[in-house]
Amino acid sequence: MKKSYKAEPYRIKMVEPIREISKDKRIELLENAGYNPFALRSEDVYIDLLTDSGTGAMSHEQWAALMRGDEAYAGSRSFYRLESVVKHITGYDYFIPAHQGRGAEQVVLPKLVKHDNMAFISNMHFDTTRAHVEIAGARAIDCTIDECFKTGEYHPFKGNFHLDKLRALIDERGKENIAGIIMTITNNSAGGQPVSMANLRATAAIAREYGLPVLIDGARYAENAWFVKQREQGYKDKSILEIARETFELADIFLMSAKKDGLSNMGGIIAIRNDKELYREVQGTVVPMEGFPTYGGMSGRDMEALAVGLQEALDEDYLTHRMDQVRYLGERLKEAGVPIQYPTGGHAVFVDCKAFAPHIPFDQFPAQSVVNALYLESGVRAVEIGSLLLGRDPDTKANIDTPLQLMRLTIPRRTYTYAHLDVVAEGVINVYKKRKTLRGLRFTYEPKILRHFTAKMEPIG
C-alpha cells in the first residue's frame, strides 16, 4: 500500500501533552459514562477524534491576532476586520457574527418559515440544522443521490443533490410550502462528501425556477472547493478562493460554523447576499439571541483569530495535507478490509458499521457499539453518526433507520500527526478482528431532543 505521505506543512511551536490511561481504567470510565463517549473527560481520551469542530490548532498569526482584539460592545475594530474578510470571500453585502453555527441557524432559519407545513430541503441536514428547522415548526427533508448510501462504491461527489427527487419533492409539497434549499458543503453526515459545482449549479437553477431561497451551510466550504479543484473538469487551474466565490454566487444566504474551515475554536457567520429587509430582520433578532450585531456572541479577539483563520483555510498546501491525512487513514483501514465510506471525504473517515457489525440491529446502534469498542481498545474517541443521532420520527416516535450506520473518525485541523493516525488505524483494525463479539446497546436514559449528546446506555446481553 501507499504508505508514503508528504510531511506536515508546518512545524510545532507549542505542545499539549496527551497520555494513554490503562485499559482497566477505560472499562470503568466508559461504564460510568453510560456507554456514551460524549460523557468522557477529554483527559481520559488518548486521541480525540470526536469532532473537527473547534478542536484544531491555531497558527502563530492567529495567536498574534488575538492581541489586536477590540472588545468594544459596539463598533469593534475586530468586527470590521472580520467583516471585510467575509465580504471578500463571499462577495455578499451583509455580515453578522454568531457565537457558532447553530447560533446562526437559530436566528436565520425561522425567518424563512412563513406558515405551517413548510419544509427545508437539503442534500443532508446536519443534526443542529435539522433541530432548528424543527424548532421553527418546519420539516427537514434530505435529498441526496443514491450513490451516497453505497459506501463501498466510488463516486467523486457523493454529497450531491438528487436533482430529480428535488424537483419531485417541490412539486409534491408545492413551492409555497418550501422554506428554502440548504446546500450542505461538504455533506457532513454522509461522510464529509463533496458536492460538485455542476450539481450546486443545477440545484440553484431549480431553486430559482421555483423562486426559492438558497442557503449554503458552509462549515467546510473550503474543503468542498478543494475537491472541486481535484475532481471536477475545468477547475484544476482555479484557486480555492475562486472556486469558493463561484459557489457563493449560487446562493442567497451563507451560514457557517467557523469552528471548521474558519480554523477557529469558536465562532459563526451569517452572510446575506443583498436582501436588505432580511438582513434587518436578522439584525433585530440577533441582539436578544446572540449579541449586538457587531459581536454576535464572539469576543473581539475571537473575531480577529477568525479573520486570519478564514484566509489560512483557503491555502492549498494546508488543504492538501489535511485531505491527505484523511485519505491515509481511510486507505489503511480499507486495506485491512474495514468497510468505510469510499472514497474518503473532507474531514473524517466514516466506518460503515452496518457492514462492520451486521449482527447488531439498527435500533441497538451498531456504530455506537463500535465507537465504544474502539475507546476500550486504544483510548481513541470517535462518534456515532447513525440511528442514535437521528433520533425518532416526529410522527410515529419510532427509531429512524438508515443504511448509514457510521462511526466517524474526525480529524482535527493541524493537530495530530501521521503517527497518531497509525495508532487509530491499528485500534480500528483490532476491533474489526473481534467484531463478532460486539453487542448492541439499549437506553437507560433517553433525552427527547438531540439525544445522542446526553443519552445513557448499557450493552444488551
Catalytic-role residue among 44, 217, 261, 302: 217
Q: Is 452 a known active-site residue?
A: yes
Cβ neighbours around 52 below 10 Å, total: 26
Query: Does 90 participate in binding ligand F0G (rule CB under 6 A)?
Result: no
Q: Quick one: 111 or 220, whose CB is closer to ligand F0G?
A: 220
Catalytic-role residue among 260, 347, 354, 420: 260
Smallest distance from ligand F0G to CB 265, Å: 11
| Count of residues that interact with ligand F0G, criterion CB under 6 A | 15
Cα angle, residue 32 at apex, residues 30 and 34 outer, rounded to 5°: 75
Write the secondary structure of 205-250 as one string of H (helix), E (strand) and C (coil).
Answer: HHHHHHCCCEEEECCCHHHHHHHHHHHCCCCCCCCHHHHHHHHHCC
Smallest distance from ligand F0G to CB 50, Å: 7
Query: Does 217 participate in binding ligand F0G (rule CB under 6 A)?
Result: yes
Q: How far apart are CA 436 and CA 149, in angstroms?
A: 23
Query: Does 386 participate in binding ligand F0G (rule CB under 6 A)?
Result: no
Per CB under 6 A, contacts with ligand F0G among 101-130 are 101-102, 126, 128-129
Q: Is 279 a known active-site residue?
A: no
Helix/strand/coil for 456:
strand
Residue 325, C-alpha cell as written in the block: 491525512
Catalytic-role residue among 126, 161, 221, 375: 126
Query: Does 265 participate in binding ligand F0G (rule CB under 6 A)?
Result: no
Considering only CA atoms, which of 52, 34, 30 is closest in space to residue 385?
52
Q: Quick one: 51 or 364, whose CB is closer to ligand F0G?
A: 51
Q: Is 73 a known active-site residue?
A: yes
Smallest distance from ligand F0G to CB 102, Å: 3
Of residues 59, 90, 100, 151, which one binds ligand F0G by CB under 6 A? 100
Q: Quick one: 224 or 364, whose CB is closer to ligand F0G?
A: 224
Residue 292, C-alpha cell as written in the block: 449586538
Catalytic-role residue among 70, 127, 252, 302: 127
Q: How far apart are CA 121 and CA 143, in angstroms?
A: 7
Q: Is 260 a known active-site residue?
A: yes
Considering only CA atoms, which of 337, 358, 331, 351 is closest in space to residue 422?
331
Q: Is 70 a known active-site residue?
A: no
Query: Does 193 participate in binding ligand F0G (rule CB under 6 A)?
Result: no
Of residues 62, 160, 188, 199, which one binds ligand F0G by CB under 6 A? 188
Query: Does 219 participate in binding ligand F0G (rule CB under 6 A)?
Result: yes
How far CA 251 is from CA of 23, 274, 460, in Å, comes to: 49, 11, 47
Stretch of 83-91, 100-108, 361-369, 449-457 contacting ligand F0G, by CB under 6 A: 100-108
Q: Quick one: 86 or 438, whose CB is closer to ligand F0G?
A: 86
CA 434 to chain centre: 30
Considering only CA atoms, which of 421, 401, 198, 236 is closest in space to residue 326?
421
Per the CB < 8 A criterion, the answer to whether 313 and 218 are in contact is no
Tell me the CB-side half-sphere exposure of residue 89, using CA atoms within 13 A.
Answer: 29
Q: Which residue is nearest to ligand F0G (CB)?
A: 101
Query: Does 53 participate in binding ligand F0G (rule CB under 6 A)?
Result: yes
Beta-strand ranges (E) seen in 128-203 are: 139-142, 178-184
Query: Does 259 participate in binding ligand F0G (rule CB under 6 A)?
Result: yes
Stretch of 96-104, 235-243, 280-288, 426-434 contacting ligand F0G, by CB under 6 A: 96-104
In b/e form, how buried is each residue of 147-164, taking b as 16+ CB within 10 angstroms?
bbeebeeeeebbbbbbee
Q: What is the set of active-site residues?
A: 73, 126-127, 217, 219, 260, 452
What residue ranges bind ligand F0G (CB under 6 A)?
Answer: 51, 53, 100-102, 126, 128-129, 184, 188, 217, 219, 257, 259, 268
